[in-house]
């Protein structure tokens, strides 16, 4: 069974600094997708960035980028120039490509605090 592990329950960063959130996963599949979702106090899960496993190039979205290491099954999120609005719970998620199951498998989350 696939699993997603986030080993940092909480992280803190100074405004304008850079922070990296860690995520590892376990799967025997070769085709899959990885995601980082942000959940602020408003509760809505917001897609931050996504990565297709077959792409070697790391995804970037403005201040957000990932370090995808397929062999190591690692998928970390880097937030540059952190802003107060980045404070939230961040979830790493995995979804298998194809097959009968399209569910997202989530990690336990990392609570990010941004200090002014």
Give contact residues for another protein (rule: CB under 8 A). 33, 35, 37, 42-47, 50, 52, 91, 95, 97, 100-109
Q: CB-wise, 15 or 52, nearer to another protein? A: 52
What is the smallest separation between the CB atom of 38 and another protein, expressed in angstroms? 11
What is the smallest separation between the CB atom of 65 and another protein, expressed in angstroms? 17
From the CB of residue 101, how many other CB atoms can be counted at a distance below 10 Å?
9
What is the smallest separation between the CB atom of 17 and another protein, expressed in angstroms? 28
Exposed / middle / buried, residue 98 (Cβ in 10 Å: 0-12, 13-18, 19+): exposed
Q: CB-wise, 51 or 82, nearer to another protein? A: 51
Q: CB-wise, 16 or 47, nearer to another protein? A: 47
Distance CA 70, CA 53 (A): 7
């Amino acid at each position: 069974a696939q699993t997603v592990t986030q080993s940092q329950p909480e992280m803190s960063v100074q405004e304008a600094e850079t922070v990296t959130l860690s995520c590892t996963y376990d799967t025997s599949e070769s085709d899959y997708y990885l995601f980082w979702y942000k959940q602020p106090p408003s509760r809505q899960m917001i897609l931050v960035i996504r990565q297709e496993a077959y792409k070697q190039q790391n995804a970037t979205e403005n201040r957000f980028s990932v370090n995808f290491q397929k062999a190591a099954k690692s998928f970390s999120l880097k937030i540059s120039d952190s802003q107060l609005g980045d404070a939230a719970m961040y979830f790493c998620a995995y979804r298998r490509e194809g097959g009968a199951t399209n569910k997202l498998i989530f990690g336990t989350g990392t609570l990010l605090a941004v200090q002014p």
